Structures are given as C-alpha cells and as structure tokens.
C-alpha cells in the first residue's frame, strides 16, 4: 500500500512546454530544452539546485543533461510510452521522499510529426502482424466494438468526447487543432479502423513538456503557488498485454480508484476537472466507468449532452487533450491539471477549481489527484 | 489467388515455430505445459502459469466464440494496401485462450457478438498459411 503520509507532501513547483506543431528544423532534445527553459521561467528556480532528472521519449539522458547544464544525482530514462507520464511523476515522488534528490526535473519530448511516426506496422512488429493487426488505435477500436455490443453504446455517444475536447482547444491558443466540429461531422469523418473514425484518433505532433517537482516546503520559496500531489494510484494489467483487454481495464481502474481517492480524501463527486488520457476516444469512456463516475456500461449515456465540456458536470481535458491540443502522451494533461489548480487557464478556466484528477487507463493504469498545497 | 496482396510474414522463433509449422499443415495447435498441464497463447518461452519450459503442441478443437472485430481502412504495410478494408477479429477458443485472427465466409458477411466460430485456413497470401475463422 502507498504510504498515505505522501499525500500533500510534494508539489509540482514549475511547469513548461515548447510550442506544439511541426518543427522539422528542431530535434527532440531541442524541444525538451525549450520546455525546460519555460518551466524555469515559470517557477524561477535556480537551476543549479536541480539534482534529479527523468527523461521520457527524449532519446538519451546524458546529452540532455549536458545541453541544459544539469548535474543530477538521480537520473532515470523511461521508455517512450504514454503510460510512462503518470509513472514518471509517481517515481519522482518516491525519489524525493527517499532523499535521492530534492528537485526532480521530468522531461518529455515527441518529434513524431516531423519523423512521420505512424504508431503501427514495421515500427512495432508483433505476433499478430500476419493477420494484419497493428497499432494501438485498433486495440481501442476492438474494445469499443465490444462495448457497443455488450452495452449498446453508440458512436454518436462516443463523438461527445471528441466534440467536447475540440471546443476546449478552440479556447486554447497553444492547441494544434482549433476548428470546432459537431457530432454529425464526427460521424461523417474518414473511417480509420471501424468503428473508429479520424476524429477518434489523437494528433501526431511535435512538442515537449517539463515538470519540476519538489517538497511543498521548498516549492513555497518559488514564484508560483505550489500544487500538491494529494493522491496517487496504480495498477497494471500486463498478464494479457498483447491483445485487447476483456474488461476495458475496469479491474485496474477500480484498484487505482481504491488507492487514489482515499489518499486524497476525496471521491469522484469532488473532482472539479478531469484530465483523462485520450489517445483514442473510447478510453475516456472506459476511464469514467472504472473510476466510478458512472456505472459499468453507462459511460455513453453519461457523456451525452456535453457532460465533459466546460460548464458541464465534469469538465475534462480543458486544454483539448491528445485529440485536439497536443499528443504529449499524458504530460500536457498533467501541466493543464496544475494550471487549472493555479487558476491560470483564462477563457477555459474551471471556476473555483481545487481538485483536479489525472487518469490514464492503459495496461499500466495510473491516476494522480492535484490540490492546492 | 490475388498476387498483389501480401501480409507480413511471421517472425519465426524457437518459441513460436511450432505454431506456424502446424499452421503450414492446416492445424491450429496450442502449447500445453508438460508440467502443470495448462495452455497459454500467444507462445511464451516459459509457461506463464508455472514457468516450466517444455510444451506439448497439440491440435486445438478449432471451436471459438467471437468476442469483437474491427475493419482496417488504413494500411500500415505496403502489401496490405490492396487488401483494405479487411477485418481482424478477437476470438476466445474453447480451450479458454484468446487470439486475434480474421473472419471469412458467413462470419465476415454478418459478424455477430458471441457467435460460434470454427477455424479454417487461407492460402490467399504468398508464403503464408493462416488460421482464420468462419461461422460454425
């Protein structure tokens, strides 16, 4: 069991991002350096105090540290998987609590647009290739088909997710996709892997994100109001990792909920804004069910009528998410969570926003709850 | 046989070779652990249940239930481009393990959740005999 003493003890002190889009003239190190400089500007930390560095999708920690002038005593390289964003933050908490470092910098960069990454085919060979099965999107399509058959969920209900997040992106000057669309537009979009269409798929763009974590006490000396990590939860579902999970990650999500909510002393009804991993729209519905925002099978009805939009019952992915803001594999969602708690989100700010939850339903399911320190 | 369509060929390893050697002879086989007697899929170097490393590959019943299916409209490999749209299904074999495959015949025409299926084999792709599923 995760030590409840960790609740509220550590904070995100600084956040930063590069620009999002297509930058063929830059590489991933360059984008990460931009995000790091932005995070230092954000919190005003003297960078000579930084003694911890974790990098994800940045190709190598050593040239990264050299380029931004860091000399850490805790260094970690994580594989380029979206599920590693939540994992990185949780591992950094443990490192801070163990005294491995006092200031942890987490850096993520993705140059997938300029490198024409397609997240399938020869890039990721697997046992099922001879049957033509590849790409994470197809896994989500397979799961959503089963959800439709089992519970009667419709693609028009699914469209509510993409439509709501795009409305938020329209209000976010940094977002890559800022043209609103309707449920009918979603239904008419190009089919990619039936039952999923183009607007159910996340963007592929270049960009980078930086988070700086330290103790709440140390964070109080910096420029911005510290945002405390009040709760964390984790459960993997790796026993059958090579094909779509039979339960929409429900068991992993429930076990994660059983940790994250008690640790943060809140429940689903206390969540002011939800930042939910949305590489493909169906996983948003699965997350809502698994976290207990609605009963299993009822997420389709739950999201109808703009529930996930600003002004709705559960504003989600107020930056536009992976579907419309930027495919930063969970990292930018954690930045948005921090900015919502700080009250920095301008037109897309959730009023009186005090409890923000991040959740990623993946074979490594993770959730983090942020509150004011 | 379509000559302009291909599929990625299996990457045969000591662990999965028995599966593909049986498929070449139009047999759907599963690995049964010689220690604990359980089966698993896809093939693994050690039994995921008891970690034993020797398996008896035996023909499966070939009977399965349809769990889910998708239709790829986008091609991720050159040889597959001429074949889109094509389906991929998730089935549960009567032996209790799941596998991804393709639907053919009546099952491809009208897939139904939980419909009973039976294995068959296709040779429409070059250098590949592939176990696929039709309505039982």
CATH says B61-136 is which class? mainly beta
Chain A to chain B Cβ contacts (< 8 Å): 97
Are the beta carbons of B100 and A133 separated by less than 8 Å?
yes
- Judged against a pLDDT cut of 90, whether residue B49 lies above it is answered with yes
- What average pLDDT does range B62-89 have in this prediction? 95
Any idea what DSSP says for residue B85?
S
pLDDT at B97: 95
Q: Do B90 and A243 touch (CB under 8 A)?
A: yes
Q: What is the DSSP letter of B3?
A: S
Tally of residues, chain A: 373
Q: Do A240 and B16 touch (CB under 8 A)?
A: no
Pick from A231, A277, A329: nearest CA to A17 = A329
Please say whether the beta carbons of A348 and A265 come within 8 A: no
B2 pLDDT exceeds 70? no
Contact assignment for A120 to B76 by CB distance below 8 Å: yes
Intervals of chain A under pLDDT 70:
none
Instruction: Choose the closest CB to B100 out of A125, A131, A195.
Output: A131
Q: Do A145 and B88 touch (CB under 8 A)?
A: no
CB-based contact A192 B48, cutoff 8 Å? no
Which pLDDT does position A308 carry in this prediction? 98
Q: What is the pLDDT of residues A44-100, one digit of tens each?
A: 999 999 999 999 999 999 999 999 999 999 999 999 999 999 999 999 999 999 999
Inform me whether the pLDDT recorded for B5 exceeds 60.
Answer: yes
pLDDT at B3: 57
Query: What is the Cα Rg of chain A in Å?
Result: 19
* Predicted-complex ipTM score: 0.97
- A131 to chain B: nearest residue by CA? B101
The predicted structure's pLDDT at residue A11 = 98
CA distance A345 to chain B (A): 37
Q: Give the pLDDT band (50/70/90) at residue B4.
A: confident
Please give the structure tokens belonging to residue B22.
């049986």
Tell me the domain boundaries of chain B.
Answer: 11-59, 61-136
- Find which of A120, A124, A132, A150 to mutate to test the B interface (most B CBs within 10 Å of its CB): A132
Give me the domains of chain A, ranges plus CATH numbers. 4-115+203-372 (3.40.47.10)
Give the C-alpha separation, A218 to A204, whole Å.
36
Q: Please give, rounded to a whole number of angstroms, the shortest distance from the CA of B22 to a CA of chain A.
A: 15
């Amino acid at each position: 069991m995760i030590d409840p003493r960790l609740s509220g003890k550590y904070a995100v002190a600084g956040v930063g991002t590069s620009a999002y889009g297509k930058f063929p003239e830059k590489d991933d190190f360059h984008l990460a350096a931009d995000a790091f400089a932005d995070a230092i500007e954000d919190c005003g930390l003297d960078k000579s105090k930084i003694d911890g560095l974790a990098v994800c999708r940045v190709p190598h920690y050593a040239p990264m540290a050299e380029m931004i002038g860091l000399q850490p005593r805790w260094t970690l390289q994580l594989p380029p998987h979206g599920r590693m964003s939540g994992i990185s933050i949780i591992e950094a908490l443990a490192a801070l609590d163990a005294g491995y470092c006092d200031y942890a910098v987490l850096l993520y960069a993705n140059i997938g647009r300029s490198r024409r990454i397609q997240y399938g085919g020869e890039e990721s060979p697997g046992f099922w290739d001879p049957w033509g099965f590849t790409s994470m999107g197809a896994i989500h399509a397979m799961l959503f088909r089963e959800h439709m058959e089992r519970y009667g969920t419709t693609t028009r209900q699914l469209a509510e997710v993409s439509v709501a997040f795009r409305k938020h992106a329209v209000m976010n000057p940094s977002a890559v996709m800022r043209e609103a669309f309707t449920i009918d537009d979603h239904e008419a979009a190009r089919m990619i892997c039936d039952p999923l269409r183009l607007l159910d798929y996340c963007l592929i763009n270049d960009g980078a994100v930086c988070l700086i974590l330290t103790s709440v006490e140390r964070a109080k000396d910096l420029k911005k109001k510290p945002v405390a990590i009040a709760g964390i939860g984790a459960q993997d579902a790796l026993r059958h990792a090579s094909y779509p999970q039979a339960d929409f990650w429900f068991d992993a999500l429930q076990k994660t909920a059983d940790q994250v909510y008690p640790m943060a002393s809140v429940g689903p009804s206390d969540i002011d804004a939800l930042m939910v991993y949305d590489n493909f729209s169906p996983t948003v519905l699965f997350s809502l069910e698994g976290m207990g925002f609605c009963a299993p099978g009822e997420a389709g009805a739950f999201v109808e009528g703009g529930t996930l939009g600003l002004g709705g019952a559960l504003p989600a992915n107020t930056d536009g998410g992976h579907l419309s803001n930027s495919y930063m594999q969970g990292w930018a969602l954690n930045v948005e969570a921090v900015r919502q708690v700080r009250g920095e989100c301008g037109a897309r700010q959730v009023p009186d926003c005090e409890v923000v939850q991040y959740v990623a339903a993946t074979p490594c399911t993770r959730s983090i709850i942020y509150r004011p320190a | 046989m379509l000559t302009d369509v291909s599929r990625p060929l299996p990457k045969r390893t000591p662990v999965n070779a028995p599966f593909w050697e049986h498929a070449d002879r139009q047999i759907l086989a599963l690995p049964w652990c010689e220690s604990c007697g359980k089966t698993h899929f896809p093939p693994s170097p050690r039994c995921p249940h008891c970690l034993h490393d020797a398996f008896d590959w035996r023909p499966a019943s070939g009977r399965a239930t349809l769990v889910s299916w998708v239709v790829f409209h986008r091609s991720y490999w050159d040889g597959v481009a001429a074949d889109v749209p094509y389906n991929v299904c998730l089935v549960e074999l009567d032996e209790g393990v799941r596998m991804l495959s393709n639907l053919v015949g009546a099952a491809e025409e009208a897939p139904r959740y939980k419909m009973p299926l039976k294995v068959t084999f296709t040779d429409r792709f070059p250098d590949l005999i592939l176990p696929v599923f039709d309505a039982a």
